[in-house]
Amino acid sequence: MIKILVIHGPNLQLLGRRKPSVYGRTTLQEINAQLKTQARKLKAQLTIEQFNHEGQMVDAIGKAEGHFDGILINPAAYTHTSVAVRDAIEAVDLPAVEVHLSNIHAREAFRHNSMVAPVAVGQICGFGPDSYLLGLSALCGFLKKKKGTK
């Protein structure tokens, strides 16, 4: 079993009613249910957390080593601001895939830069809830390939 830590960043608990024109109507609970269904197919085990506080995200990433094989993360607003989240991902020896519901590159200029992208395996954005599902399958594929080469 591949063990994945899924981290949702700030304000994502409001999905469903938060700016539906940008983020759609799917709730976080529905996204998590879709992720769990896909995880079963990929033979992955998920631990899913949502944090509004930067330090809590940093703590969770820092504790992940030894317990998880990889991290699927939507850092939300901290994507654009957090050196601490970026450094935490860089510090733990775990591959991370960054996902966003919206296409951050097609939005306001302050969303174009991701602190996290340079320390992630890759970034998937713009596909709504499917960004998470694509990210999970990309991360599992990456981990399976990595295991095969060991």
Active site residues: 23, 100
What six digits make up the tokens of 112? 């174009």
Q: Parallel, antiparallel, or unpaired: how do β-strands 70-74 and 44-50 relate?
A: unpaired
Residue owning tokens 């607003």: 77
Q: Are 41 and 72 in contact (CB under 8 A)?
A: no
79 binds ligand DQA (CB under 6 A): yes
Out of 81, 111, 121, 127, name the contact with ligand DQA by CB under 6 A: 111
> Least distance from C-beta 87 to ligand DQA, angstroms?
19
Q: Give the pair of three-digit tokens for residue 149.
A: 């080469």
Q: Minimal distance in Å, beta carbon 11 to ligand DQA?
A: 5
**Interface of this chain with ligand DQA, residues 87 to 106, rule: CB under 6 A:** 100-102, 104
CA distance 79 to 150: 31
Query: CB-wise, 111 or 144, nearer to ligand DQA?
Result: 111
Cα 6 versus chain centre, distance:
6
> CB of residue 62 vs ligand DQA: minimum separation in angstroms?
21
- When the beta carbons of 8 and 68 are compared against ligand DQA, the nearer one is 8
Contact 142, 70 (CB under 8 A): yes
Least separation, in Å, of the C-beta of 88 and ligand DQA?
17
- Output 26 or 74, the one with its CB closest to ligand DQA: 74
CB 61 within 8 A of CB 88: yes
Token digits of residue 64 = 């992940």
User: Does position 11 bind ligand DQA by CB under 6 A?
Assistant: yes
HSE, CB side, 13 Å, CA atoms: give it for residue 147. Answer: 10
Name residues contacting ligand DQA, limited to 14-33 (CB under 6 A). Answer: none
Contact residues for ligand DQA (CB under 6 A)? 11, 74, 76-77, 79, 100-102, 104, 111
